[in-house]
């Protein structure tokens, strides 16, 4: 069996993701699609609208055959770390290809850009350093540095978010010497950052616009942009746990965390840099909502996304020394299985004997500092729930076996 790897968040799984999964199999002539998916907190520092289990169910009913979790240590990170962890997991699982969407839509510029970077890496780092000293944010500094070294016609526009991720996928594949072949396709119909649903009642919309519609108007307004499985899981989640998650859901918990931390303690939290702890404490005292807090905190030097990730690390009490220790090891610590179809199970059975990394199906069988972070993330994620739903949710983290789905009979199987 041949498998294509997908790096995903599915927040939530929408028609664009359905198209992507189908096209990935077709373009790479693969039997199975393997998704490495962020857990409860995502790359931009936001909580997922519904749990990783609900999003796994959406994916398995919509053409994805195997879903594994991207650990927190990689998931809530800048693009390079996010991509590096994802690529390593897919490589160890034995995926022959990696398929991603991009604004460019052609793979050659990704190879050309990686080649130019390799030839001018020292100049790139020097340019970044100079831009940071001028007060630029890291993404702006990196973009300026790339503009300096990327003068060939067939290189990437690295101001685009999916091009940036795709570049780091290709670079990571090359760095670890993987035989995985990267493929890309152009994003269709909707831009990554589009805040509003496109006109018309059906089609493809950005996840950003779908989340906004869900929060402001409800599921009825965006149902035409979601597969039926996603609609069912979104409805079931609210009925079971009483909410869909957003950054505002965690504002009171963030405020409590910051009230109990001194400036010196806050300075030890991952991604709190350069005296930012003082601005954080001033801003949180004045803010009456997460949005207001972020507006008070935002500066030219720090992007909104970077600050959101930092806030999640504050909630998690993730210390710099602990995260740096985890990331020092270039090898992934484990692969956690979230769900599989019959086809996915067959692929996994084929690959199991070749795996050099521990495959986890139940938490009771394994322990690791990185896994401790994942468990803590689930507990933090459950805070806005009422009891007894919160306890039920947290018990699932230990008791939940991988989800199994029979794609032929279109039903979930008991564990």
Binding residues for ATP: 7-20, 101, 162, 187-188
| Pair of tokens at residue 358 | 């521990």
Cross-strand partners of 404: 340, 413
Residue among 335, 283, 343 nearest 314 (CA): 283
Binding residues: 7-20, 101, 162, 187-188
| Pair of tokens at residue 301 | 């030097």
Positive or negative, the CA dihedral 110, 331, 269, 134 is: negative
Residue among 238, 212, 166 nearest 11 (CA): 212
Residue among 345, 343, 338 nearest 407 (CA): 343
Positive or negative, the CA dihedral 161, 167, 171, 174 is: positive
DSSP code for 386: P
DSSP one-letter string for 138-203:
HHHHHHHHHHHH--STTS--TTSHHHHHHHHHHHHHHHTT--PEEEEEE--SS-TT--SPPSSSSS
What gap in Å lies between CA 215 and CA 229, rounded to an integer?
19
Residue among 73, 35, 42 nearest 56 (CA): 35
What gap in Å lies between CA 19 and CA 339, rounded to an integer?
20
Contact by Cβ (8 Å): 123, 149 = yes
Torsion of Cα atoms, 121 then 123 then 125 then 126, to 10°: 160
Three-state helix/strand/coil letters over 49-60: CCCHHHHHHHHH
What gap in Å lies between CA 218 and CA 214, rounded to an integer?
4
What gap in Å lies between CA 251 and CA 289, rounded to an integer?
7
Spatial CB neighbours of 286, under 8 Å, sequence gap ≥ 6: 292, 296
Which strand (E) or helix (H) includes residue 403? strand 403-406
């Amino acid at each position: 069996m041949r498998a294509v790897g997908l790096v995903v968040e599915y927040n939530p799984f929408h028609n664009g993701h359905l198209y992507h999964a189908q096209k990935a199999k077709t373009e790479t002539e693969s039997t199975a699609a393997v998704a490495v998916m962020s857990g409860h907190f995502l790359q931009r520092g936001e909580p997922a609208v519904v749990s990783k289990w609900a999003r796994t169910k959406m994916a398995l009913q919509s053409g994805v055959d195997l879903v594994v979790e991207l650990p927190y240590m990689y998931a809530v990170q800048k693009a390079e770390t996010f991509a590096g962890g994802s690529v390593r997991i897919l490589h160890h699982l034995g995926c022959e290809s990696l398929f991603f969407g991009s604004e460019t839509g052609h793979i050659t510029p990704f190879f050309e850009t990686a080649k130019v970077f390799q030839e001018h890496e020292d100049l790139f780092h020097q340019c970044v350093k100079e831009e940071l000293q001028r007060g630029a944010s890291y993404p702006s500094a990196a973009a300026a540095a790339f503009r300096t070294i990327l003068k060939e016609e067939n290189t990437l526009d690295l101001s685009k978010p999916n091009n940036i991720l795709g570049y780091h996928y290709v670079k990571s594949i090359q760095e670890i010497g993987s035989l995985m072949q990267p493929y890309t396709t152009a994003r269709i119909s909707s831009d990554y950052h589009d805040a509003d649903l496109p006109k018309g009642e059906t089609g493809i919309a950005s996840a950003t616009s779908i989340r906004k519609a869900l929060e402001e108007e409800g599921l009825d307004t965006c149902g035409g942009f979601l597969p039926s499985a996603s609609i069912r899981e979104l409805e079931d989640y609210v009925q079971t746990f009483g909410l869909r998650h957003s950054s505002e859901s965690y504002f009171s918990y963030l405020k409590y965390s910051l009230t109990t931390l001194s400036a010196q303690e806050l300075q030890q939290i991952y991604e709190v840099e350069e005296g930012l702890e003082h601005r954080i404490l001033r801003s949180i005292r004045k803010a009456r909502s997460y949005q207001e807090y972020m507006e008070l905190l935002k500066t030219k030097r720090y992007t909104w996304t970077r600050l959101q990730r930092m806030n999640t690390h504050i909630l998690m009490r993730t210390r710099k020394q602990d995260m740096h220790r985890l990331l020092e090891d270039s090898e992934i610590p484990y692969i956690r299985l979230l769900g599989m179809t019959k086809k996915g199970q067959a692929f996994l059975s084929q690959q199991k004997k070749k795996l050099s990394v521990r495959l986890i199906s139940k938490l009771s069988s394994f322990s690791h500092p990185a896994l401790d972070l994942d468990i803590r993330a689930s507990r933090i994620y459950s805070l806005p729930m009422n009891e007894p739903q919160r306890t039920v949710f947290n018990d699932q983290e230990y008791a939940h076996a991988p989800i199994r789905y029979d794609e032929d009979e279109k039903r979930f199987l008991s564990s």
